[in-house]
Amino acid sequence: MAVRILVLSWAVLIAVIITPLAEASENNTVSFMPAWTVNETAKYLVKKSKTDARGTQSATMPLSVRVAGKTADGYIFECQYDNFDTDIDIPVDLKKILVEINQGMKIKYATDKYGGFQKIINLDEIQAWTEASLARYIASIPDEVVRAGISKLVSDSMKIKGAVSASASREISYLHNPYFLGQEFEVDEKYMAEVILPNIFNPPQPYFGVVFMTASRGGGFKQMLIEQEIDKQKSAVILADTLGKMAVANNVGQPDVNLKITNVELKDFFCYSFKESGNWVEKALPTRKIIVGGYTREETLEFIRQQ
C-alpha cells in the first residue's frame, strides 16, 4: 500500500501523511470512486441532535441534492432543505423564522473530482435569501412590540458572509466526507494520518491531531469508519494558551480567578455507508464529543438516504 497525501476540507485543514498501521494480510481492497452524471439526484432525511447535562435536543430536515454540472476538476451540486422540525423548546416565532429561511433556499457548491467538498459558490444568493426571508416575516407581524422583539432574535452574525458561509458549508461538507473519496484501501486494515484540526475556541491556533481510518465491506455495502482526536502532546502549548484564555474569559470581573478549565478533549467518530455500485452515501453518521473541563457535549448529524 503506497503512502498517500490527502487534502481535507470541513474539519481538517491539512493531512500530512496516511499509512497503514500493519501490513495487509491479503490483496483485498475497497475504493470510493464516485462517478455521478448530471441531473442525478438523491434525497436524505437529516437528523441533528445535541446532548449535554440538560438532556438531548434534536431537529430533522428533508434534503434534496442534485448534480447540477460537471467540470474537468469536479462537480457542481445544488441542494435544498424542504422543512424544519425540532423538539427544542424555542419560541414559536423563532421556529417560524427557521422554517421560512430553510424552505426554498438553494445551496450550490463545488466538489473535487472525487466528490470532496470544496466551497459554496452562491453565497451572495444565500445571504440575500436569508435577509429577504427574515425581512418578509418580521414585516408580517402586526404588533409593533412583538415585531421589535422578534427583530432582536435575529443575530447580526446572520448578516455576515463568513457566518452564513460557515452555516451553509458545515452540514454539506459532512455529507461529502474528504477522507476516503478517491482512495483505495486494504479491507479491514487500520490506517493513521496526522492532521491539523481547527481550534473552535481560538481559530488562529489550530491543533495537531490524529485520525484513524478503516474501510470495510459486506452485504453489498462498503463502509468508512473514521476516528479523529486532538494530539495533546503535540498540541500542549496551544492547549495551555487556549485554556488560559478561556479561563480568564470565564471569570471576567472576579477578583480571584479560579482556573476551573483544565482540559479540552475533542473526539470525532464517523461512519459512512455506500452501496457497492453506488455513488451516493446511503447513510452518514458524524458524531462529535467535546469535553471542556467538567462540561461534556455530544453532537450528531445523521444523513439517511430516502431515494
Domain borders along the chain are 14-305
Whose CA is closest to 94, among 155, 50, 41? 155
- Tell me what the pLDDT averaged over the chain comes to: 77
* Alpha-carbon torsion (169, 174, 178, 179), positive or negative: positive
Residue 254, burial from CB neighbour count under 10 angstroms (0-12, 13-18, 19+): exposed
The residue type at 216: S
Residue with C-alpha cell 491539512?
14
Sign of CA dihedral 135, 92, 175, 268: positive
Structure confidence at residue 283 (pLDDT): 94
End-to-end CA distance of the chain: 35
CB 104 within 8 A of CB 83: no
Give the residue ranges of the chain where pLDDT is below 70. Answer: 1-27, 84, 87-102, 150, 152-168, 178-179, 246-263, 293
Regarding pTM above 0.85, the answer is no
Q: How far, in Å, CA of 28 to CA of 34, rounded?
A: 19
Residue given cell 434534503 in the structure block = 63
User: Looking at residue 278, what is its pLDDT?
Assistant: 82
Residues 235-244 have pLDDT tens digits of 888 877 877 7
Secondary structure (3-state) at 271? strand
CATH topology of domain 14-305: Lipovitellin-phosvitin complex; beta-sheet shell regions (2.30.230)
Region label for 266, one of left (φ > 0), alpha (ψ between -120 and 50) or beta (otherwise): beta
pLDDT of residue 253: 42
> Per-residue pLDDT tens for 257-285?
444 555 678 888 999 999 988 889 999 99
User: Residue 138: helix, strand or coil by DSSP?
Assistant: helix
pLDDT of residue 257: 42
- Please list the residues that pair with 62 across neighbouring strands: 45
Q: How far is CA 122 from CA 146, 182, 208, 280, in A?
A: 33, 26, 32, 23
Q: Where does 53-201 show beta strands of DSSP type E?
A: 55-70, 74-81, 85-86, 106-112, 117-120, 184-186, 190-197
Positive or negative, the Cα torsion across 81, 83, 88, 90? Answer: positive
Three-class SS state of 65: strand
Q: What pLDDT is recorded for position 234?
A: 83
